Amino acid sequence: MSRHGRKRPFPTAFWISMLAVAVLLLGLGGLFSSWKSRRLAELEAGSGTTLLSQGVMEFAERGDGPAVVVIHGSPGGYDQGLVYGKELIRRGFRVLSVSRPGYLRTPLATGATFAEQADAISELLTQRGIMVCSVMGISEGSDCALQLASRHPEQVSSLILLSPPGESLGFSPIASIGYRLFHDLTGDVGCWLLSLRAAWSPRKLFAEMMGIASSLRPSGREAIASFVMRDPDQQAFLKQLALSVTPLSPREHGIINDNAELKDIPPALSLRIRCPLLALTGEHATATPYETLRKRFSSIPGSRLEVIPEVGHILPVGPQFSRSWDGIASFLKAPPLADRTR
């Protein structure tokens, strides 16, 4: 204070700094809003919706050939199914990818349980004129795929699961992989930053993705990231996979619902799986370890469990990428015979 008891005014430099910060924040806010609007418009343009007896379901259809329904994990949506479906389309398949209830433009009211979701997909298949198809379940979407094969066996010729849950989460505070990602990304702003990293620093992002639900050491993650950077197909796969969780807000209800449903999944023995089943897991996957999956699926006649070496939860990726997709395509085109009399 001056000797007359008055406060000295803030210097001009202070006000200029505050104005610069305000302008910067407004600019960043505008960039974020623009990104989110564009992303939502892209998602809407890439899919359609249809009215089923249970409610509205969003879907996208690409390619020609034998039909494969791809059921996404968490977080996800039809866009994530298309990321995996792209490799199937290259190998001569027609892909139908859905947004499960609670994700993107499919309301949760269409079906909260995995059984209800399976019934809705079954009706969608009939509506699209697909009488029989193969089914691919991704991570948390695997139990919906299992329910579809169990409840509607006449529609499912073969079933393949990538990193499926091996057991219930139980009612402890443990959260699903999708819910943990939902928490760690801190909303749509976090998703925007993720999209910037995918564009500007993909190698570092890929290495971090290899650590999701994985016991891979940092050197192993870096090795996979380096390999991916030399393969344009794998770069596109992982970049698009990262973007398939963005933005989070239109996926929130599905993520939370999946976390609740996965607390108590039915034992495989209670499911009537009549078609050939192939489950794939990574050697270093911590959420879907081999022994846990073996215990869950060994009771299903005709089931097969394979481990992809040197990877974690996200697969296929790394040196086995093309070979794994070729094997998946071969299984879907000519699955081994299974017991269809149970």
**pLDDT tens for each residue of 241-295:** 999 999 999 999 999 999 999 999 988 778 889 999 999 999 999 988 899 999 9
Report the CATH fold assignment for 45-333: Rossmann fold (3.40.50)
At residue 96, the pLDDT reads 98
pLDDT digits (tens, 9 = 90+) for 70-110: 999 999 999 999 999 999 999 999 999 999 999 999 999 99
At residue 337, the pLDDT reads 66
At residue 341, the pLDDT reads 45
Query: Is the predicted pLDDT of residue 15 greater than 70, yes or no?
Result: no
Question: pTM of the entire structure?
Answer: 0.90
Bridge partners, 137 (sequence order): 71, 161
Residue 342 confidence class, pLDDT cut points 50, 70, 90: very low
Q: How far apart are CA 57 and CA 68, in angstroms?
A: 17
Chain-wide mean pLDDT for the chain? 90
Tokens of 21: 């910060």
pLDDT digits (tens, 9 = 90+) for 296-318: 998 888 899 999 999 999 999 99
Tokens of 35: 């990104």
Q: How far apart are CA 36 and CA 12, in angstroms?
A: 36
* Domain assignments of the chain as residue spans, ordered by start: 45-333
Edge-to-edge strand order for the sheet containing 277-282?
48-51, 56-62, 94-99, 67-71, 133-138, 156-162, 277-282, 303-308
pLDDT digits (tens, 9 = 90+) for 37-62: 999 999 999 999 999 999 999 999 99
78-90 and 232-243 helices cross at what angle (nearest 10)?
A: 160
Q: How far apart are CA 144 and CA 97, in angstroms?
A: 13
Q: What percent of the chain has pLDDT over 70?
A: 89
